[in-house]
Structure 1
Amino acid sequence: MTPIVNRWPVAVLGATGAVGQAFIRLLDAHPWFDLTEVAASERSAGKSYREATKWLEGTMPAQVAALTVKTCSPEEVTAPIIFSALDSGVAGEVEAAFARAGRMVLSNAKNYRMEPDVPLVIPEVNGDHLGILDIQRANRGWTGGIVTNANCATTVMAAALAPLHQRFTVTKVFATTMQAVSGAGYPGVPSLDILGNVIPYINDEEPKIETELVKLLGTFDGNALRHAEIVTSAHANRVPVEHGHTVCMSVAFAEKPTPARALETMRSWTGQEAVRGLPSAPEPSLIVRDEADRPQPRRDVNRGRGMATTVGRVREDHLFDLRLVAMSHNVVRGAAGGSILNAELLAHTGQLARYLAP
């Protein structure tokens, strides 16, 4: 692993929200990135971060607490690397403004995920899709760029299915999600709606799963991103779990694997070579459990510092070919940590230095 001699200054947009706070926790003492700016809405701008934020977990880093919150404007925020935790209602215009201004934007929002020239990346799965950035910048006339990470439930699915798709070619997926309340942000779902209950609807979630998975498991041929030919049917449910999205899947393949072959494939999978050893990369990134009752959010959500995906219950399926259950941390792997790992891969491969050169 090539060491990073000088740390990159970075900023977080939407820094006062739940995902913004996750960015701040994960960036605290990061070996490659130095959090120098925080930005949020105009009602928070001008206050110290401590004054503007209802801190949700652990202890607020002292150096961040003293920072003055800025507005989400490239004229005010000067860092070359931008981590965006903005809501999709405002993210589109703001993130494009930063990309036009020469910044590299790592976005959690849905706005650009399915654009044909914007990489939608889980580094272990499809880190090579970052190659589309050259085409994005040429198409749009940007001196910066936008890289997106996937919807948090789709991230679970893609991480679990990637090794199986590479070896046996996934053709159909029937998925039912059990998604944690932290996926709704803060304050999120009212307690009287979720306690002792399951809500069988999450706005816009099922279409994201059904469209994003084929992009994540597709290929980059040097000129365009080619989607995988996979048909997906998804049911999204909110459940009374704090952290950790669980997905139950039935999967059909072009070449049907036995459960034993599927398990061997997942256990031996190491993901793309360039990701190994990055500061936020878990080792292994995919954990296979043999117990009949795993994975469970309470017991498995923090594996790999919240960056690993845990898979279990791999068995034959009477409708398709295989059944399995996958789970990972929706705020860490599915949001802030995923974006940070994307930025680490850009730094390690020299793309940050090339794109952000004066």
Structure 2
Amino acid sequence: MTSFRVGLLGATGAVGQKFIKILENHPWFQITALGASKRSAGKPYAEAANWIESTPMPESVKQLKVLECKSELFKDVDFVFSGLDSSVATDIEGDFAKAGIPVISNAKNYRTDPTVPLLIPEVNPDHIDLIHEQRFTKDGSGWIVTNPNCVAVPLTTSLKPLHDAFGISSLVVTSMQAISGAGYPGVPSLDIMGNVIPYIGGEESKIRQEPLKLLGTLSKGAVKYADFPIEATATRVPVINGHLLSITVGLKMKADLDEIRDAMNNWKSPIHELDLPSAPEFPLKVHTDPRYPQPRLHADSEGGMQTAVGRIRQAHVMDVSYIAMAHNTVRGAAGGAILNAELLVRKGFLK
């Protein structure tokens, strides 16, 4: 496998650090350029970053000089990962794409663009063909791919077998989101300790919208969104990692619990045979113990890349209720973007 030179935008932030940690020993991707704000530019990464990961900063990045996030400074990379804040991502990511540098983004800014794939490889790998519809460069060398919101990932992954087997007519979801999802320094300790905050600004609209694009069908260069209503409530809870979701689903075709469990247990990932380094062997794990899944016990399963499901039960309103959970900064952020890049390599979009 060819080794790819990778740039990282937003390298000093919490998501940027997670990218660095996961990519430390990646067999295909090597970080060769780091980008951050003007405040950090010109400094060695070890000096610019307040390292918050639980493992030591990799030696390979300590002395890399941090660059401003300008495309002309990243000419020697094959593509970039973006962990940029949404307040600056639109212009910076667009500038890189227009310069012919592919961007694989964790930011929300281009997720709803009709020509930009919103991608979970196990759910909608065919949507990468939207890249052909982008016009950042005349020769198609520059483009953007995004990964979804950190709640939309476990939500949509758990819905995919039900959507395929029975169809979905409606959905209610309440998220209990870990504090790491708020970045660093995140939520003030006096607000979150021993408490639950029943509102996260801007989150519920993403939970309502993104699964419909992810579960949509690609036809003639456009995605026809799935068509069912989603009612979402987003809360912040005093958990470090792992977003837990309480989900109730209305089905178009009635199914009993055995059929629903079978649909989830027997669901096959469409990328299973591609041998992608970050792909979990079992992207969807169905637990039978009614106490599971739990963030403390299961967020790190399969390197943090697995979606866990449990408490599947008949609903008194609509049809079926269950719990889903995934690691928000791995599967829901940096790890998901890295898996997207691996799929893009296998499909020939990164060369």
User: What TM-score does the superposition give when structure 1 sets the normalisation length?
Assistant: 0.95
Match for residue 21 of structure 2? 25
The offset of 1:139, in angstroms, is: 9.1
**Residue of structure 2 equivalent to 1:324:** 322
Map of 1:263 onto structure 2: 261
* Mapped contact 1:287–1:308 kept (Cα < 8 A): yes
Q: 2:302 aligns with which of 301, 304, 312?
A: 304
**Cα deviation, residue 188, structure 1:** 0.1
Contact 2:216 2:223 in 1 (8 A): yes
Amino acid at match of 1:71: E
113, 124, 127: which one aligns with 1:126? 124
**1:143 CA displacement:** 3.1
Match of 2:10 among 5, 14, 19: 14
Between 62-71 and 138-147, report the one with greater CA deviation: 138-147
| Matched residue type, 1:64 | V
Cα distance in 1 for partners of 2:307, 2:131 equals 27
1:52 equivalent among 48, 60, 73: 48
| Residue in 2 that maps onto 1:70 | 67
Tell me the residue number matched to 1:195. 193
Between 170-179 and 274-283, the greater mean CA deviation after superposition: 274-283
CA distance in 1 between counterparts of 2:212 and 2:105 reads 19
In 2: Cα distance, 1:279 partner to 1:230 partner? 34
* TM superposition shift of 1:235: 0.3
Is the 2:306–2:331 contact (alpha carbons within 8 Å) kept by the matching residues of 1?
yes
Matches of residues 214-225 of structure 1 in structure 2 within 5 Å?
214-225=212-223
Q: How far, CA to CA, are the matches of 1:278 and 1:102 in structure 2? A: 25
Q: How far has the Cα of 1:223 moved from its partner?
A: 2.0
Matched position secondary structure for 1:326: strand
Q: What do you get for the CA RMSD once the two structures are aligned? A: 1.3
| 2:39 paired residue among 25, 39, 43 | 43
Structure 2 counterpart of 1:193, which letter? D
Contact 1:100 1:142 in 2 (8 A): no
The answer to whether the 8 Å contact 1:275/1:281 transfers is no
Query: Does structure 1 residue 61 correspond to structure 2 residue 53?
Result: no
For 1:126-167, what per-residue CA distance to the aligned partner results, in whole angstroms no more than 9, with x for missing partners?
011001100123798853100000000111100111111011
Q: Distance in 2 between matches of 1:274 and 1:245?
A: 25
Q: Which structure 2 segments of 5+ residues have no match?
A: none
Q: Tell me, which stretches of 5 or more residues in structure 1 are unaligned?
A: 354-358
Contact 2:97 2:136 in 1 (8 A): no
Partners of 1:163 and 1:203 in 2: CA distance: 30
| Matches of 1:246 and 1:128, distance apart in 2 | 28
What is the TM-score normalised by the length of structure 2?
0.97
Q: Distance in 2 between matches of 1:199 and 1:139?
A: 44
User: Which of residues 226, 229, 236 is equivalent to 1:228?
Assistant: 226
